[in-house]
Chain A
Amino acid sequence: MFDATILFPSVLNGLTTGAVYALVALGLTLIYGVLHIINFAHGASLMVALYAVYWLKSRFGLDPYLALPLVVPAMFALGYALQRFIVNRASHGKDENILLVTLGLAIVMENLALLVFKSDTRTIDTPYTLATVAIGPAMIAVPKLLAFAGALAAAAALLLVVGRTDLGRAIRAVAKEKQGARLVGIDVDHVYAMSFGLGLACLGAAACFLLPAYYVNPQVGSGFVLIAFTIVVLGGMGSFAGALLGGLLIGVVESLGGLMLGESLGQVGIFAIFIAVLLLRPQGLFGARV
């Protein structure tokens, strides 16, 4: 029924979306891996970043790719501040408080966006929005291709930071053994905030790559949150490789699912996977035993 000329482009499209999903999931993985918290505000933060990119384009005409050096640091700063001044203060040592406070932040961000930007879905126009490139029998939109490349580059940059820099070493130390890290003089609060900041910086990058081929409205956050969680859980909480591969896989599943079941029911497929993974293999494909 479905031959290669239909499946192939669907898979390719899925991979390009999946790369961006992977970048989103990497940020979430970093936050979970270090702080051991589930950041319910991750999707809403992506939405904030998307609006930032949108605003820079519509107000100043700044091309989204050129906005990277502005949006990424801004999101980093937002993440740092949120963790240091709100999430940290709210935890009182209990995980459930962090759950609630990140949920609260998500609600505030989403609805502030609703207040300010209204619920209209917005897109941007760039000279290359409609350009396509032929790969085999498939015509792939240029923005999507750029998104694929950009997301992978950003992921590589993140992995470099975590693997090779001093900050990265401190992050990995705190992730493994918080008390021990404190004993050797690492400022754990600072590392927490840096990790949160890096996680949101990933979202800043993802937003710049995403908007040209996508859209923004106040609700996009919630859609991304569950997809990001699905990827993180599927890939194995705390595994970067898992988040990367999981993201690509989910992208393809969503694309193929949408092809076969229609857009909205295709999403159900993702949630079904999510629920199944949580129930049957909560450590995911790559994670350690939960």
Chain B
Amino acid sequence: MRADLLSIAAFALAVAAVPLLTASGVVLTFLMMTLYAALLAAAWNVLGGYGGQFSFGHALFFGTGAYVQAIAQLQGGLNPWLALVLACASAGAVGVFVGALSFRYGLKGSYFALVTLAFAEVFRIVALSVPFTGAGVGLMLPLAPGAANFQFADRAGFVWTMLGFVVAALLVTSWLRHSRFGAQLQAVRDNEDAARAVGVSPLRVKLGAIALSSVPTGAAGAFYLQVFQYIDPAIAYGPAVSVEALVAAIVGGLGTLWGPVLGAALLHALAEATRNLFGSLPGLNMVIYGSVLVLVVMFAPRGVFGAGESLRDAWRRR
């Protein structure tokens, strides 16, 4: 536990220092977007890596967070930071709802993945058709720079805010590794019947996991809105976010503490390098993500970090 906390603290300090050391927009934007991807991946990892339930529709929580963040401000006149709380709560509520339906009926594996995909699609279509989400046009946040408005004039504020979210997600992940709930969750993942035989309730544990996973994803959605000041159904509920979250988590290493962060950094760096080489072609990013996913599953299914852990364990057992 202490090792985890030390590494998280070191990470936080190192990243927090960057905006103090450079004012380069390029570096800070890269850092901000990598942290954003890391949050998505870390959140997905809670349900997918530790819970063993693969969601293919995590955009459902992302989009809900983003839309609630927007609507709370535009229609409710709420302060953006309060809206954030509401956005996270809404994402969590949707998570528990979908989880309750799916897990109570015993959906797992492919069926669960399909259901999450279906829900994300339903929400996307509804958002496309309903006026208060702006329908196809989407919603735009008026410019009002200032820390109190969760709109920072320079990237530094966003970097620190996002760093805060990521650290929170890492702390939750660390807690999963050293707590009774985490042990029960992983037991259900590894062998549901055996877990039941020692008194663990799969439904309760999975619901907890999906709540812990959907809330940070909602935060990422709210964050997206504040940075880009715009949201529409395709961005909110489209497959891009769902894919980014799961590919980064898998590439980095499922069920590890640093895997998602590593995976997010690697993928983002890869995307940037490709953009510099080939320009911003639509679809190029996703081709890369998809190919990486296929290659990783074929040759390194435990991801970069997972493979590292295997090596470390083999070394220890020698």
**Which positions in A face B, CB cutoff 8 Å?**
37-38, 40, 86, 89-90, 92, 94-97, 99-101, 103-108, 110-115, 118-119, 218, 222, 226, 229, 233, 262, 264-265, 267-268, 271-272, 274-275, 278-280, 282
B293 touches A229 (CB 8 A): no
Contact A271 B290 (CB under 8 A): no
10 contacts between A and B (CB under 8 A): A38-B110, A40-B56, A94-B301, A103-B290, A107-B243, A119-B282, A233-B114, A271-B119, A275-B118, A279-B105
Residue numbers of B with Cβ under 8 A of A are 54, 56, 101-102, 105, 107, 109-111, 113-115, 117-119, 121-122, 125-126, 128-129, 239, 243, 246-247, 250, 281-287, 289-294, 297-298, 301
Q: How many Å lie between the Cα of A160 and that of B317 in the bound state?
A: 56
Residue on B with the closest CB to A230? B118
Contacts of A104 in B (CB 8 A): 247, 290-294, 297
Given contacts A111-B283, A268-B126, A278-B105, contact A105 B294 (CB under 8 A): yes
Check A108–B129 contact: CB distance below 8 A: no
Give the nearest-CB partner of B104 in chain A. Answer: A279
**Residue pair B290, A111 in contact (C-beta under 8 Å):** yes
> For A267, what are the chain B residues with a Cβ–Cβ distance below 8 Å?
125
Q: Which of B118, B282, B293 contacts A114 (CB 8 A)?
A: B282
Give how many A-B residue pairs fall within 8 Å (CB-CB): 127
* 9 more CB-based (< 8 A) A-B contacts, given A112-B287, A226-B117, A279-B102: A96-B109, A97-B301, A104-B292, A112-B283, A115-B282, A119-B282, A218-B283, A275-B119, A279-B101
Chain A contacts for B109, CB-based, 8 A: 95-96, 99
Across-interface contacts of B287 in A (CB, < 8 A) = 107-108, 111-112, 115
Q: How far is the CA of A115 from the CA of B280 in the complex (A)?
A: 11
Q: Would you call the interface of chain A mostly helix, strand, loop, or mixed?
A: helix
Shortest Cβ distance from B119 into A: residue = A275
Complex contacts, B114 vs chain A, CB 8 Å: 38, 226, 229, 233, 274, 278
Find out whether the CB atom of A271 lies under 8 angstroms from the CB atom of B129: no
Contact A106–B290 (Cβ < 8 Å): yes
Give chain B nearest CB distance to A13 CB in angstroms.
21
| B111 lies within 8 A of A100 (CB) | no
Taking a contact as CB atoms under 8 Å apart, the answer to whether A271 and B118 are in contact is: yes
Contacting pair B110 A99 (CB below 8 A): yes
A-side contacts of B119, CB under 8 Å: 271, 275
| Contacting pair A278 B107 (CB below 8 A) | yes
Instruction: Give CA–CA (A279, B119) in the complex, Å.
Output: 13
**Complex alpha-carbon distance, A279 and B110, angstroms:** 13
- Name which residue of chain B comes closest to A100, CB basis: B297
Q: Which residues of A contact B128 (CB under 8 A)?
A: 264
Residue of B56, B122, B129, B293 near A272 (CB, 8 A) is: B122
Q: Which residues of A contact B301 (CB under 8 A)?
A: 90, 92, 94, 97
With both beta carbons as reference points, the residue of chain B lying nearest to A261 in the complex is identified as: B129
Cross-chain contact B293 with A282 (CB below 8 angstroms): no
Complex: chain A residue closest to B130, CB-CB: A265
- B285 vs chain A, min Cβ distance (A): 8
B293 (CB) vs chain A CBs: closest residue? A104
Cα(A114)–Cα(B287), bound, Å: 9
B291 contacts across to A, CB distance below 8 A: 104, 108
A108 touches B126 (CB 8 A): no
Q: Which 3 A-B pairs have the closest CB atoms?
A: A107-B290, A114-B283, A104-B293
